[in-house]
Structures are given as C-alpha cells and as structure tokens.
Structure 1
Amino acid sequence: MSEQSSDNVGALAERLRGVERARLRALVAADIAAAEALHSDEFQLITPIGARLDRAQYLGAVAAGQIDYLHWEAGDIEVRVAGDAATLRYRAELEVAFGGHHVARSDYWHTDTYERSGSEWRAVWSQATQIQ
C-alpha cells in the first residue's frame, strides 16, 4: 500500500470515528433528526439482552424515552474499511434507563457496521455486549 493510500485510509477511519461519536451524541441527547441522518433505513440493533430492533423501533424508543441514554462514552474506536462498508469496534461505558428501569453504568463492547451512500456513511447494523 502506498503512503498516499495509507493516508487516505487513515483519514477515512478518522472520519468514521467522528460519525460514530456524532451518532452517540445524538442518541444521548435524543436528537432524533440528527440520529435519523446517521442510521440507514435498513438499520438493525441487537441489544445486550438479544432483542432485535429496526430503525423505526429503535429511534422511536429513544424519542419516546423508553430508551434513555444517560451516559455513553466510547473508548478507542477501531475501524476496518472494505470499499463502501466499514466495521467499527470499541469498548464504551454506558448508562441507560430502559423501559423505566435504570441500568447502572457498565462497560460494553460495541460493533457497528456502516455503509456509504453517496458521500455519507450511515450505520446499518449495531450490536452491544455487556462486559461482565
């Protein structure tokens, strides 16, 4: 890989880290307009308890306060890019109220898949696993 290619890959990885951090900020703030722009129409989340939520279910639950992110701090985000797809993996500290039940701050692994649509990157799949 040439140095130019390596620079481009590094810049793209940094851009994707920024997109993921913007997505997290939008979810914590329950800024649904911003969150919608960062989630593809085909988005699916697999929650730590194994439930599958599509985009409408997930963002609807955030909008209604059924999922209330109180804290979501991502650590170092690893990025792998293959054409118009990218996978991000990171450990994060998360505190959430889910269905009115407070879930204490804990560590989770997150794996997110993004796809490029035009010049924009949008999350298509996401999975969170609690670290015991």
Structure 2
Amino acid sequence: MTHSVANLIRETEHARLSALVQGHIETASALHAPDFQLITPIGDTLSKAQYLGAIAAGHIKYLSWEPATIEVRVFGSAAIIRYRSSLSVIFGGYTVPPAQYWHTDFYEMRDDIWQVVWSQATEIRPVSSRGEVLTA
C-alpha cells in the first residue's frame, strides 16, 4: 500500500509542477493547501495566495521545471518528498539562468486529496560564496 501511495504522491507532484509551468492556477490551487508556505531559494517566504498570485500576474514565469527521481517517505496521512531539478524561470522580468535545485516538500492528505503544505527550494551551487569548489 505504501508503494502505491508513494507513486500517487509522485504523480501529484508532477501534476503540480506541470500546472505551475503552464500557469494553470486553478489546477495548482487544488494541489496547494490553504496554509501552504514556500521558502524560496533566496530565503523569502510566500503564502499560497502570494505564490500563485505572482504566477497568475506573470511576476513568476516558469519556463521549465524538470525533476529527477522523486524520493518519497509516507507516514499515514502525511508524506515528505525530496528531489533535484533543473529549473528555468523569469522572476520579476529577469530571466534567471537555468540552474539545479534541491526541493523538499511536505504533503498532507486533506479532503481525499494530497496537497503540498510546505515547500523549500535550495539552489545547488558548484562554488561556495567564498569561491571554494563544492562538487568534484
């Protein structure tokens, strides 16, 4: 049973990412909990209304969002996922160079649907802020 739940959560995350890239706010809204909160790669906090509103207004425009393998841990009616992605976005009119990110998302089963409650994205940088090589 846990394996099929994990697959359902993976499918839900893929559907969420597709909705965000395509700007389908109604679909995305159903997959985000009312109390959703995003921690962006630069440390800003966005509520569901702020995040989806920014996408609807064109302030955030995902050009692509390609996840690698999505790892899932299920705990009853809650689950946590983690994955790397390749992401291209226009933010506030500025095209952010394509980059790699780690994503950690917390899902809960609410009203018979898996919804993301918390989401955090971290940019993967090959060099630290001090100029040290971080990857081999």
Counterpart of 1:32 (choices 25, 35, 38) is 25
Counterpart of 2:37 (choices 44, 64, 75) is 44
Q: Distance in 1 between matches of 2:76 and 2:35?
A: 19
1:56 matched residue in structure 2: 49
2:113 matched residue in structure 1: 120
1:92 matched residue in structure 2: 85
User: Which 10-residue stretch deviates more, 111-120 or 88-97?
Assistant: 111-120
Q: Could you say what secondary structure the match of 1:48 adopts?
A: coil
Count of equivalent residues: 125
5+ residue gaps, structure 2, are: 126-136
Question: TM-score scaled by structure 1?
Answer: 0.93
2:68 matched residue in structure 1: 75
Q: Distance in 1 between matches of 2:65 and 2:43?
A: 19
> Letter of the aligned partner of 2:5 in structure 1?
L
Counterpart of 1:66 (choices 59, 67, 70) is 59
Q: Distance in 2 between matches of 1:11 and 1:24?
A: 20
1:18 lines up with 2:8 in the alignment: no
5+ residue gaps, structure 1, are: 1-7
1:107 matched residue in structure 2: 100
Q: Distance in 1 between matches of 2:32 and 2:110?
A: 11
Question: TM-score scaled by structure 2?
Answer: 0.91
Percentage identity across aligned positions?
A: 55
> Letter of the aligned partner of 2:35 in structure 1?
E
**CA shift digits 1:43-95 (9 cap, x unpaired):** 00000000000000000000001000001000000000111110000000000
Runs of 4+ in 1 over 6 A off after TM superposition: none
> Letter of the aligned partner of 2:111 in structure 1?
G
CA RMSD in angstroms, aligned pairs only: 0.5
